[in-house]
Amino acid sequence: MSATAMWTDWSCQVRLTIDRPDFLADARKHLVLLMDDVAKSANRFRPDSDISRINGSAGRMVPVSGRTIGLLETALDAAAVTGGAVDPTVGAHVRRAGYDADIDIVRAVTRPAKDDTLPQADWTSVQINHSLSLAGIPRGLQLDLGASAKAWTADVAAHAIAGMLGTAVLVEIGGDVSVAGRRECPWQIQVSEQTGEPGQRVAVSRGGVATSSTAARRWRTTAGEAHHIIDPRTGRPSSGPWRTATVWAPTAVEANTSSTAALILGDEAVAYLEDTHVAARLVDNSGRVRVTCEWPAEAEAA
Protein backbone atom coordinates (compact mmCIF):
# COMPACT_ATOMS: atom_id res chain seq x y z
CA MET A 1 0.00 0.00 0.00
CA SER A 2 1.22 3.48 -0.84
CA ALA A 3 0.24 6.97 0.28
CA THR A 4 0.44 10.25 -1.61
CA ALA A 5 0.60 13.92 -0.67
CA MET A 6 0.10 16.63 -3.28
CA TRP A 7 0.44 20.40 -3.00
CA THR A 8 1.55 23.44 -4.95
CA ASP A 9 4.92 25.15 -4.53
CA TRP A 10 7.40 26.87 -6.85
CA SER A 11 4.36 27.63 -9.08
CA CYS A 12 4.00 23.94 -9.91
CA GLN A 13 2.48 20.72 -8.62
CA VAL A 14 4.47 18.71 -6.08
CA ARG A 15 3.68 15.03 -5.57
CA LEU A 16 5.19 12.71 -2.98
CA THR A 17 4.33 9.00 -2.84
CA ILE A 18 5.84 6.43 -0.46
CA ASP A 19 5.15 2.77 0.27
CA ARG A 20 4.94 3.28 4.04
CA PRO A 21 1.84 5.42 4.69
CA ASP A 22 2.65 5.85 8.37
CA PHE A 23 5.76 7.86 7.43
CA LEU A 24 4.12 10.14 4.87
CA ALA A 25 4.04 13.16 7.20
CA ASP A 26 7.76 12.79 7.99
CA ALA A 27 8.60 12.42 4.32
CA ARG A 28 6.55 15.48 3.38
CA LYS A 29 8.25 17.56 6.06
CA HIS A 30 11.66 16.58 4.72
CA LEU A 31 10.72 17.54 1.16
CA VAL A 32 9.16 20.86 2.23
CA LEU A 33 12.27 21.82 4.21
CA LEU A 34 14.57 20.88 1.34
CA MET A 35 12.51 22.88 -1.15
CA ASP A 36 12.57 25.88 1.16
CA ASP A 37 16.35 25.61 1.49
CA VAL A 38 16.78 25.35 -2.30
CA ALA A 39 14.48 28.35 -2.79
CA LYS A 40 16.74 30.44 -0.55
CA SER A 41 19.52 29.66 -3.02
CA ALA A 42 17.86 29.53 -6.43
CA ASN A 43 14.49 31.33 -6.48
CA ARG A 44 15.01 34.32 -8.77
CA PHE A 45 11.72 35.88 -7.58
CA ARG A 46 12.94 36.08 -3.97
CA PRO A 47 15.03 39.24 -3.48
CA ASP A 48 16.89 37.60 -0.59
CA SER A 49 17.93 34.46 -2.51
CA ASP A 50 21.57 33.91 -3.44
CA ILE A 51 20.69 33.90 -7.15
CA SER A 52 18.93 37.27 -6.84
CA ARG A 53 21.98 38.69 -5.05
CA ILE A 54 24.31 37.33 -7.74
CA ASN A 55 22.09 38.77 -10.48
CA GLY A 56 21.84 42.09 -8.69
CA SER A 57 25.61 42.30 -8.27
CA ALA A 58 26.67 41.25 -11.76
CA GLY A 59 30.26 42.19 -12.39
CA ARG A 60 31.55 41.21 -8.96
CA MET A 61 31.74 38.16 -6.73
CA VAL A 62 29.32 37.79 -3.82
CA PRO A 63 29.26 35.37 -0.87
CA VAL A 64 26.85 32.45 -1.29
CA SER A 65 26.01 29.24 0.54
CA GLY A 66 27.49 25.84 -0.16
CA ARG A 67 24.04 24.79 -1.39
CA THR A 68 24.13 27.52 -4.01
CA ILE A 69 27.57 26.50 -5.23
CA GLY A 70 26.36 22.92 -5.58
CA LEU A 71 23.32 24.02 -7.57
CA LEU A 72 25.50 26.22 -9.78
CA GLU A 73 27.82 23.30 -10.47
CA THR A 74 24.85 21.10 -11.40
CA ALA A 75 23.65 23.75 -13.87
CA LEU A 76 27.12 24.21 -15.33
CA ASP A 77 27.50 20.43 -15.75
CA ALA A 78 24.22 20.44 -17.71
CA ALA A 79 25.60 23.20 -19.92
CA ALA A 80 28.84 21.32 -20.50
CA VAL A 81 27.27 17.99 -21.49
CA THR A 82 24.86 19.70 -23.92
CA GLY A 83 27.48 21.87 -25.55
CA GLY A 84 25.85 24.97 -24.09
CA ALA A 85 22.31 24.20 -25.26
CA VAL A 86 21.11 24.24 -21.64
CA ASP A 87 22.63 27.46 -20.34
CA PRO A 88 21.96 28.85 -16.83
CA THR A 89 22.92 32.40 -17.84
CA VAL A 90 19.69 33.06 -19.80
CA GLY A 91 18.00 34.71 -16.80
CA ALA A 92 17.93 38.20 -18.34
CA HIS A 93 16.60 36.74 -21.59
CA VAL A 94 13.79 34.96 -19.74
CA ARG A 95 12.85 38.28 -18.14
CA ARG A 96 12.97 40.07 -21.49
CA ALA A 97 10.56 37.45 -22.86
CA GLY A 98 8.11 38.51 -20.13
CA TYR A 99 8.67 35.91 -17.42
CA ASP A 100 9.64 38.40 -14.73
CA ALA A 101 7.23 37.36 -11.96
CA ASP A 102 5.27 34.35 -10.75
CA ILE A 103 3.67 32.60 -13.74
CA ASP A 104 0.10 33.38 -12.59
CA ILE A 105 0.95 37.09 -12.53
CA VAL A 106 2.64 36.88 -15.94
CA ARG A 107 -0.40 35.19 -17.49
CA ALA A 108 -2.85 37.72 -16.07
CA VAL A 109 -2.05 40.52 -18.53
CA THR A 110 -0.49 40.91 -21.96
CA ARG A 111 3.20 41.62 -21.48
CA PRO A 112 4.94 44.31 -23.56
CA ALA A 113 7.32 42.90 -26.18
CA LYS A 114 10.90 44.05 -25.56
CA ASP A 115 13.72 44.45 -28.06
CA ASP A 116 16.48 45.62 -25.72
CA THR A 117 19.94 44.29 -26.53
CA LEU A 118 21.43 41.76 -24.14
CA PRO A 119 24.79 39.99 -24.13
CA GLN A 120 24.66 36.45 -25.47
CA ALA A 121 24.30 33.82 -22.77
CA ASP A 122 27.66 32.33 -21.81
CA TRP A 123 27.79 29.63 -19.16
CA THR A 124 31.59 29.56 -19.32
CA SER A 125 31.67 33.09 -17.85
CA VAL A 126 30.21 32.01 -14.48
CA GLN A 127 32.85 32.36 -11.76
CA ILE A 128 32.98 30.25 -8.57
CA ASN A 129 35.54 30.58 -5.80
CA HIS A 130 35.15 27.41 -3.75
CA SER A 131 37.61 28.28 -1.02
CA LEU A 132 35.89 31.61 -0.24
CA SER A 133 32.36 30.47 -1.20
CA LEU A 134 31.90 33.26 -3.74
CA ALA A 135 30.12 33.32 -7.09
CA GLY A 136 29.63 35.90 -9.82
CA ILE A 137 28.62 36.60 -13.41
CA PRO A 138 29.53 39.33 -15.92
CA ARG A 139 27.49 42.50 -16.23
CA GLY A 140 24.43 42.10 -18.44
CA LEU A 141 23.87 38.43 -17.67
CA GLN A 142 21.56 36.85 -15.11
CA LEU A 143 21.26 33.33 -13.78
CA ASP A 144 18.17 31.11 -13.94
CA LEU A 145 18.60 27.72 -12.26
CA GLY A 146 14.91 26.82 -12.32
CA ALA A 147 15.04 23.63 -14.38
CA SER A 148 18.15 21.99 -12.97
CA ALA A 149 17.38 23.02 -9.37
CA LYS A 150 13.92 21.47 -9.58
CA ALA A 151 15.26 18.16 -10.88
CA TRP A 152 18.14 18.17 -8.39
CA THR A 153 15.70 18.64 -5.52
CA ALA A 154 13.56 15.72 -6.70
CA ASP A 155 16.62 13.45 -6.90
CA VAL A 156 18.05 14.42 -3.54
CA ALA A 157 14.71 14.23 -1.74
CA ALA A 158 13.78 10.83 -3.18
CA HIS A 159 17.07 9.21 -2.20
CA ALA A 160 17.22 10.88 1.21
CA ILE A 161 13.67 9.82 2.13
CA ALA A 162 14.25 6.27 0.88
CA GLY A 163 17.39 6.03 2.98
CA MET A 164 15.92 7.56 6.12
CA LEU A 165 12.60 5.72 6.14
CA GLY A 166 13.47 2.49 4.35
CA THR A 167 10.70 2.86 1.78
CA ALA A 168 10.24 3.18 -1.95
CA VAL A 169 9.70 6.85 -2.87
CA LEU A 170 8.47 8.87 -5.84
CA VAL A 171 9.01 12.63 -5.87
CA GLU A 172 7.61 14.80 -8.64
CA ILE A 173 8.18 18.55 -8.84
CA GLY A 174 6.63 20.23 -11.85
CA GLY A 175 7.17 17.39 -14.30
CA ASP A 176 10.53 16.24 -12.92
CA VAL A 177 10.15 12.78 -11.37
CA SER A 178 12.70 10.85 -9.33
CA VAL A 179 12.20 7.40 -7.79
CA ALA A 180 14.30 5.65 -5.16
CA GLY A 181 14.17 2.62 -2.89
CA ARG A 182 13.15 -0.96 -3.59
CA ARG A 183 9.68 -1.71 -4.91
CA GLU A 184 8.10 -4.96 -6.06
CA CYS A 185 6.20 -3.34 -8.93
CA PRO A 186 7.44 -0.44 -11.09
CA TRP A 187 5.94 2.99 -10.59
CA GLN A 188 3.25 3.84 -13.15
CA ILE A 189 3.87 7.37 -14.41
CA GLN A 190 1.50 9.32 -16.63
CA VAL A 191 3.43 11.25 -19.25
CA SER A 192 1.49 14.23 -20.61
CA GLU A 193 2.16 17.74 -21.81
CA GLN A 194 0.24 19.39 -18.97
CA THR A 195 -0.90 18.15 -15.57
CA GLY A 196 -4.18 16.26 -15.77
CA GLU A 197 -4.16 15.84 -19.54
CA PRO A 198 -4.33 12.43 -21.28
CA GLY A 199 -1.00 10.99 -22.32
CA GLN A 200 1.03 7.81 -22.16
CA ARG A 201 1.50 5.62 -19.10
CA VAL A 202 5.02 4.23 -18.60
CA ALA A 203 6.51 1.94 -15.97
CA VAL A 204 9.58 3.23 -14.11
CA SER A 205 11.54 1.24 -11.55
CA ARG A 206 14.60 3.48 -11.18
CA GLY A 207 16.09 6.80 -12.18
CA GLY A 208 14.19 9.86 -13.26
CA VAL A 209 11.72 11.10 -15.86
CA ALA A 210 11.49 14.74 -16.92
CA THR A 211 9.14 16.57 -19.25
CA SER A 212 10.06 19.92 -20.78
CA SER A 213 7.41 21.74 -22.79
CA THR A 214 6.72 25.00 -24.56
CA ALA A 215 2.98 24.27 -24.23
CA ALA A 216 2.55 24.68 -20.47
CA ARG A 217 4.23 27.91 -19.31
CA ARG A 218 3.02 30.34 -21.95
CA TRP A 219 1.85 33.93 -21.80
CA ARG A 220 0.69 36.70 -24.12
CA THR A 221 2.91 39.54 -25.30
CA THR A 222 2.17 42.42 -27.65
CA ALA A 223 4.21 40.52 -30.27
CA GLY A 224 2.40 37.19 -29.77
CA GLU A 225 2.68 34.27 -27.36
CA ALA A 226 5.93 33.48 -25.56
CA HIS A 227 7.24 30.65 -23.41
CA HIS A 228 10.06 30.04 -20.93
CA ILE A 229 12.40 27.73 -22.89
CA ILE A 230 15.12 30.10 -24.09
CA ASP A 231 17.52 29.23 -26.90
CA PRO A 232 20.86 30.60 -25.66
CA ARG A 233 22.05 31.01 -29.25
CA THR A 234 19.35 33.59 -29.99
CA GLY A 235 18.32 34.74 -26.52
CA ARG A 236 14.68 34.21 -27.53
CA PRO A 237 12.09 31.51 -26.80
CA SER A 238 12.94 28.36 -28.77
CA SER A 239 11.10 27.94 -32.05
CA GLY A 240 11.95 24.40 -33.15
CA PRO A 241 9.61 21.63 -34.36
CA TRP A 242 9.08 20.07 -30.90
CA ARG A 243 6.65 21.41 -28.32
CA THR A 244 7.28 18.73 -25.67
CA ALA A 245 10.12 16.36 -24.79
CA THR A 246 10.00 13.64 -22.13
CA VAL A 247 13.14 11.70 -21.20
CA TRP A 248 14.04 8.78 -18.95
CA ALA A 249 17.56 8.82 -17.48
CA PRO A 250 19.44 7.49 -14.45
CA THR A 251 18.59 10.73 -12.58
CA ALA A 252 15.98 13.45 -12.90
CA VAL A 253 18.78 15.98 -13.46
CA GLU A 254 20.06 14.02 -16.45
CA ALA A 255 16.53 13.57 -17.76
CA ASN A 256 15.75 17.28 -17.45
CA THR A 257 19.02 18.22 -19.09
CA SER A 258 18.25 16.08 -22.14
CA SER A 259 14.58 17.06 -22.39
CA THR A 260 15.40 20.77 -22.27
CA ALA A 261 18.25 20.34 -24.77
CA ALA A 262 15.92 18.53 -27.16
CA LEU A 263 13.52 21.48 -27.37
CA ILE A 264 16.38 23.92 -27.92
CA LEU A 265 18.23 21.78 -30.48
CA GLY A 266 15.09 21.45 -32.61
CA ASP A 267 15.87 19.66 -35.86
CA GLU A 268 19.05 18.25 -34.32
CA ALA A 269 17.26 16.79 -31.29
CA VAL A 270 16.63 13.26 -32.56
CA ALA A 271 20.25 12.79 -33.65
CA TYR A 272 21.47 14.22 -30.32
CA LEU A 273 19.26 11.90 -28.26
CA GLU A 274 20.13 8.81 -30.28
CA ASP A 275 23.84 9.61 -30.29
CA THR A 276 23.75 9.94 -26.48
CA HIS A 277 21.55 6.80 -26.13
CA VAL A 278 18.70 8.66 -24.45
CA ALA A 279 15.18 7.22 -24.41
CA ALA A 280 12.77 10.04 -25.21
CA ARG A 281 9.24 10.87 -26.36
CA LEU A 282 9.03 13.98 -28.54
CA VAL A 283 5.76 15.68 -29.51
CA ASP A 284 5.93 17.99 -32.52
CA ASN A 285 3.90 21.15 -33.01
CA SER A 286 1.12 19.25 -34.80
CA GLY A 287 0.82 16.58 -32.08
CA ARG A 288 2.71 13.74 -33.76
CA VAL A 289 4.98 11.66 -31.53
CA ARG A 290 8.53 10.53 -32.23
CA VAL A 291 10.38 8.22 -29.85
CA THR A 292 14.07 7.43 -29.51
CA CYS A 293 16.03 4.45 -28.25
CA GLU A 294 14.03 2.25 -25.84
CA TRP A 295 11.01 4.48 -25.33
CA PRO A 296 7.75 2.58 -26.09
CA ALA A 297 6.30 3.47 -29.51
CA GLU A 298 3.30 5.75 -29.95
CA ALA A 299 1.95 7.54 -33.02
CA GLU A 300 -0.10 10.46 -31.70
CA ALA A 301 -0.17 12.61 -28.59
CA ALA A 302 -3.41 11.83 -26.76
For residue 112, the 8-state DSSP code is: P
Confirm if 68 and 45 have CB atoms less than 8 A apart: no
pLDDT of residue 302: 35
Confirm if 241 and 214 have CB atoms less than 8 A apart: no
For residue 296, the 8-state DSSP code is: P
Q: Which of 59, 68, 75, 79 is nearest to 40 (CA)?
A: 68
Return the domain boundaries, the chain: 3-292
3-292: CATH superfamily: ApbE-like domains (3.10.520.10)
Confirm if 15 and 7 have CB atoms less than 8 A apart: no
pLDDT of residue 301: 43
- Give residue 193's pLDDT band: very low, low, confident or very high (50, 70, 90): confident
- Give residue 268's pLDDT band: very low, low, confident or very high (50, 70, 90): very high
Interval 223-237 mean pLDDT: 95
pLDDT beyond 50 at 93:
yes
- Give residue 147's pLDDT band: very low, low, confident or very high (50, 70, 90): confident
- pLDDT tens, 168-192? 999 999 999 999 999 989 999 989 8
**Cα(164)–Cα(158) distance, rounded to whole angstroms?**
10
Interval 233-256 mean pLDDT: 96
Long-range pairs for 189-197: beta carbons < 8 A, 24 or more residues apart: 191/246, 191/281, 192/302, 193/243, 193/244, 193/283, 193/301, 195/13, 197/302
pLDDT beyond 60 at 43:
yes
pTM here?
Answer: 0.94
For 274, the enclosing helix (H) or strand (E) is helix 269-275
pLDDT beyond 90 at 122:
yes
pLDDT beyond 70 at 300:
no
pLDDT of residue 196: 64
- pLDDT tens, 123-141? 999 999 999 999 999 999 9
How many angstroms separate the Cα of 141 from the Cα of each of 55, 76, 259? 7, 15, 24
**Cα(93)–Cα(82) distance, rounded to whole angstroms?**
19
Confirm if 139 and 158 have CB atoms less than 8 A apart: no
pLDDT of residue 61: 98
- When the pLDDT of each residue in the chain is averaged and rounded to a whole number, the result is 94
